[in-house]
Amino acid sequence: MNPQSILATNLNRLIQRTGTPIRVQYFTSSIGSVWDDDATYTVSGNGVWSSGIVLPINASRGSFDSLLMEQGKIINGDIRLFTHGSLIMTGSFFAIRIQIGSPNGLQYSMIQDGANQSNVSNIPIYKKVFLRQLQGSTLYGE
């Protein structure tokens, strides 16, 4: 087994043992016949149950999170979620909603460009996702 696979396997084991249950629901979007129509989201499948490590935003000066805060991309109250690298978090055809906790947890949406994947020799090791809690637990247009 190569070192990249060992790293990914051990990190996945750590996330499974110490993480919080999460559910990732995927939504496909469709726009009406006119370019300025509202987008409508439809649930795609039953979602994926997994595990992730939830951490607060690190706003200390000089951190990556503080730079995102200064740029206005994240705000106080947002969280970071670390999950295994093979979990799909980005795509051009869907939006995601993440439930943290089981069976009933808080609902979050990924902020725009909020997923970062770390690879070693093209093997996905983990993903860091910035999340914002949804008000009313629905995506806009759902």
Q: What is the pLDDT of residues 118-129, one digit of tens each?
A: 888 888 888 899
**Arithmetic mean of pLDDT over the chain:** 82
Q: Is residue 141 part of a domain?
A: no
Q: Is residue 62 part of a domain?
A: yes
- 73-102 pLDDT, tens digit each: 888 889 999 998 888 877 656 678 889 988
Q: Is residue 68 part of a domain?
A: yes
pTM, full prediction = 0.81
Q: Rounded to an integer, what distance in angstroms lies between the CA atom of residue 62 and that of residue 43?
A: 39
What's the confidence (pLDDT) of residue 53? 93
In the chain, the number of structural domains is 1
The parent domain of residue 85 ranges over 3-133
Q: Is residue 125 part of a domain?
A: yes
**CATH code of the domain covering residue 15:** 2.40.10
Q: 97, 139 in Cβ contact below 8 A?
A: yes
| CB-based contacts of 94, cutoff 8 Å, min separation 6 | 26, 27, 28, 29, 44
Q: Is residue 53 part of a domain?
A: yes
Once rounded to an integer, what is the mean pLDDT over residues 61-82? 87
Q: Is residue 140 part of a domain?
A: no
39-43, 51-55, 118-122: range with highest mean pLDDT: 51-55
Q: Is residue 124 part of a domain?
A: yes
Q: Is residue 101 part of a domain?
A: yes
